[in-house]
Structure 1
Amino acid sequence: MSESGDSDASWIFYKDRPDWSDVTPIPEDDGPAPVVVIAHSEKFEDVYDYFRAILKTNEKSERALLLTKDAVEFNPANYTVWQYRRDLLQALGTDLKTELEYVEAVIKQSPKNYQVWHHRRVLIEWLQDPSLELEVTGDALQQDPKNYHAWQHRQWAIKTFGLFDKEMDFVDTLINEDVRNNSAWNQRYFVMNNHLGWSDYNVQKEICYALEKIKFVKNNESAWNYLRGVLLHDKRGISGNAVVTSFCEELYKNKCRSPYLLAFIIDICEENLKKGETSCIYNSERAIDLCQALATKYDKIRSKYWNYFSEKIKALQNIKTVEQNNMEE
């Protein structure tokens, strides 16, 4: 986008425009001995030389507003340009609905640019009208379902204006399209945490949802992480939910060796150990064995971590043994 005007034969440099003859451009000052000089096109330099000039004089005019549009065209990530454009919009009383249309066009060209999303957020705050935000962010996420800035803006709009009603359907669609879409799983947690709440019914419902998705793709880190997050709201803990433990054991019995399954079983063992519940299959010995399996076969890239975790389990077991002996004495 930054050099898109270079092929436009109709372009007239600002220095050659009669209506700008009263402005003295200010060249970029990189200091007496710049280490790395960034190469810019002649058009880029022309636009920004004049932008620095109006910024210095704090000119508030329609021509200044048009100049910021050219400046954005060459560098849509320039914070100062966007901030000055907002100052101009307020000073000139510009139609903000038209500005929203302009920003939407910029987003389509530069969807991962934080500054343009921030500009849109400010406009929505001024207008107090979020009616287009789900559609605009939805279009951006259709192009890239993991666009962080689009998700951030969407969450802000939903939470600020209470637009939760259809969000779970939107999330379901994304997860069904790509069950590994971590951003969609995060959005599901966002809706639960900020709207639907964690009643026992909702907790069990979300556990079942996660288990169904894991059954479909067992080596899916996103679903396993979501399951962990949901279980934080289960008063029985990660080790006390019989539906979850039975599901894990069934997978393990059927030769599933997903590192996420093994790590989950280790977590169950650790929680049981902390509770002092050792008279079951979730004990320190099993946790250590699984750490060894992960370190040597199923998750070798993180072997140091699993060796460390194994030592952590051993240390915890020693502490529990000492505590038990003291109680018996």
Structure 2
Amino acid sequence: MENRCLYAYKKKFGVSYPEHLDDEQFEPLNNVMLNMMEQKNFVIEIKDLEEDAKKYLIDEKGDIKNKEKISLINTYYSDRERMLFCLLSSLIEKKEYSFEGYIICSYVIKMNSSYYSAWVYRRKCLKKLNLNLLNDLKFTKYIISDNIKSFQSWFHRRWLIEYIYKMNYRKKNNQRNNECNYNIYIEEGKNIDNKNENLNEYNIDMENNYISSFDDEKNFISSEEEMNSNSSYNIHDNFYNDDDGFISNCDDTDFEEGQENNRNNIYIYEELGNIINNNIFFKNSLLPNEIINIDNFLYEELLYNNCDIFIDMKNYNSWATKTWLIDKFNILQNEYICKKHNIILHEFCFINYLLTIDIYNNSLWVYRYFILNKLSYFHDLAKMQKEIYFCFTYANQFYDNQAIFNYFIHMVFLYIKLYQNASQIKQKNTELNIQCEKKEETYKHDERNIFQIPLVNYIKNELIKIQHKSKFVLVFLSQLYSYNGSYDDEIECYRYLQKYDDFNEHVWKDRIECVQKRLKI
């Protein structure tokens, strides 16, 4: 089902999503270059299965006194795998970040996408050698499509997206500043010496600001601050502050003006050249990082992430990356993306469509809550009322769905607070201050009775009709009664649950005792 939906989504929005890893085999590993490289002893102890079997048989007979430790779990590694792990371990130990190492870690990750050290080494190679980031992002997507639950792959993907974003802005900002400084020089008619001095001073300060956002490895990936601008090109100032952390395992010099020259350190000798020429991916990795339309880039990443969700709609990494994209880069407030692609309507249609596929998926309801919160729906009484009717329609039909009722009760409580605040403001505006003081106690009593709110009272009465069909309906009603202070009705719900929900009988018994203590107080 998910694959059919994925195909339809890809076709409609033109997303180029890889369905499996490329057909690239391991022939380049037979190259003399790799066989001649220094190797390190394999860290993981490897024991032959037959030897362990013999030890076990001898041990049963009791023929040996000094019993060697027998491996309970044996992992078989081919000669090719041993060679790759040994080569990569040697490079990591020597801190040698070379294009040869980049090739090796690519094959290691292809074999084991959860190998954390290989991903860390890869990031250092990307920065030290200034390799093509978009090409590496494509490689990461292939790895994720092959093993969608690999956390290390998703971690690297986030790193790449943010790194591409910041590096792209840095280049664009440099161009703008150079043009601006040149225009100022022409207008003011300053001499060349003064101009050079001013430009040098400005660039030093500017570089310090850039470097500060890349030099913190401890605080990956972004700060908790939200970006308030309406355009992605206007929100970059929030990235460049001391509180904003961004992973960086390199020196400050890697982000100086001459960083593009780092690739000159790659010496393409004959053996290495043969590997590069016979592999499109490695050839593309040497292409320069050019300035791109960052808004289109973010939009494509969002579409691509939606494709990941179609593959596994309950995968935590997919949803976490999607919410990170929207929150970190403020996509829902980006004028370019919203106007050109109508992204807000797109996301609501995406959520509603997935609900028709799996309405019991709690991740969908959590994401819907996230979207409404980002759009400030929780401050609009009319929109909240519409959302509650939306929830009630599904809750009345799927009364055994815990995910719906968990979402539903939060919406109701938000609506109650919003309604009470609106009523309080209205009352203060229509009455004199003296009258308000006299009626203060009466108003507080009315405010507490949430069933005086027409919509809440309607929901309660309708759900009472089906309360014996589902324990989730009873739990929902008990929460409403508890919020309203109707403790007798709350106890009645718990007693019914205690009687018919045998598995959680002790839970409801404890709830009853807690409410009874509250009544005595």
TM-score, normalised via structure 2 length: 0.54
Partners of 1:238 and 1:107 in 2: CA distance: 52
Report if the CA contact (8 A) 1:238-1:268 is conserved: no
- 1:192 corresponds in structure 2 to 372
1:226 is the counterpart of 2:400: no
Amino acid paired to 2:365: W
Give 1:173-192 correspondences, 5 Å limit.
Answer: 173-192=353-372
Percent of matched pairs sharing the same residue: 22
Partners of 2:139 and 2:37 in 1: CA distance: 28
> Structure 1's 29 and 257: CA in aligned 2 closer, same or farther, altered over 3 A?
closer
Report if the CA contact (8 A) 1:104-1:136 is conserved: no
CA apart distance, 1:38: 4.8
CA apart distance, 1:186: 0.5
1:77 is the counterpart of 2:114: yes
Amino acid paired to 2:496: A
Report if the CA contact (8 A) 2:395-2:404 is conserved: yes
1:120 is the counterpart of 2:157: yes
1:143 is the counterpart of 2:179: no
- 1:19 corresponds in structure 2 to 33
Partners of 2:299 and 2:483 in 1: CA distance: 46
- 1:271 corresponds in structure 2 to 483
Amino acid paired to 1:210: C
Amino acid paired to 1:28: V
1:28 is the counterpart of 2:64: no
1:133 is the counterpart of 2:301: yes
Give 1:1-329 correspondences, 5 Å limit.
Answer: 11=26, 17-20=31-34, 21-28=36-43, 38-42=74-78, 43-128=80-165, 129-164=297-332, 165=344, 166-199=346-379, 200-234=381-415, 235=417, 236=420, 239-240=450-451, 241-254=453-466, 256-273=468-485, 283-297=486-500, 299-319=501-521
Report if the CA contact (8 A) 2:466-2:473 is conserved: no
Partners of 1:210 and 1:102 in 2: CA distance: 41
> Structure 1's 30 and 245: CA in aligned 2 closer, same or farther, altered over 3 A?
farther
Amino acid paired to 2:354: L
Partners of 1:143 and 1:130 in 2: CA distance: 20
Amino acid paired to 2:499: T
Q: Give the paired residue count.
A: 302
CA apart distance, 1:19: 0.5
Q: 5+ residue gaps in structure 1?
A: 274-282, 320-329
Deviation track 1:63-116 (CA, whole Å, cap 9, x = no partner) reads: 211110111122101111101101111112211111111111111101111111
Secondary structure in structure 2 of the residue aligned to 1:125: helix
Amino acid paired to 1:302: N
Deviation larger for 219-228 or 164-173: 164-173
Deviation larger for 29-38 or 40-49: 29-38
Report if the CA contact (8 A) 1:232-1:238 is conserved: no
Partners of 2:304 and 2:26 in 1: CA distance: 31
Partners of 1:304 and 1:60 in 2: CA distance: 60
Secondary structure in structure 1 of the residue aligned to 2:114: coil
> Structure 1's 58 and 37: CA in aligned 2 closer, same or farther, altered over 3 A?
farther
Report if the CA contact (8 A) 1:180-1:222 is conserved: yes
CA apart distance, 1:30: 5.2
CA apart distance, 1:44: 2.6
Secondary structure in structure 1 of the residue aligned to 2:480: helix
CA apart distance, 1:172: 1.4
Partners of 1:76 and 1:110 in 2: CA distance: 7
Amino acid paired to 1:121: R
Deviation track 1:248-299 (CA, whole Å, cap 9, x = no partner) reads: 32232356431111111111222222xxxxxxxxx333322221211221x2
Deviation larger for 307-316 or 199-208: 199-208
TM-score, normalised via structure 1 length: 0.83
Secondary structure in structure 1 of the residue aligned to 2:138: helix
Partners of 2:99 and 2:467 in 1: CA distance: 69
Root mean square deviation, CA, Å: 2.7
Report if the CA contact (8 A) 1:296-1:303 is conserved: yes
Amino acid paired to 1:192: L
CA apart distance, 1:17: 4.2
- 2:232 corresponds in structure 1 to none
Q: 5+ residue gaps in structure 2?
A: 1-20, 47-67, 166-296, 333-343, 421-447
Secondary structure in structure 2 of the residue aligned to 1:131: helix
Partners of 1:266 and 1:157 in 2: CA distance: 37
Report if the CA contact (8 A) 2:399-2:469 is conserved: no
Bigger Cα Rg: 2
Deviation larger for 128-137 or 92-101: 128-137
Amino acid paired to 1:229: H
Report if the CA contact (8 A) 1:238-1:271 is conserved: no
- Greater relative contact order structure (CA < 8 Å, 6+ sep): 2
> Structure 1's 316 and 81: CA in aligned 2 closer, same or farther, altered over 3 A?
same
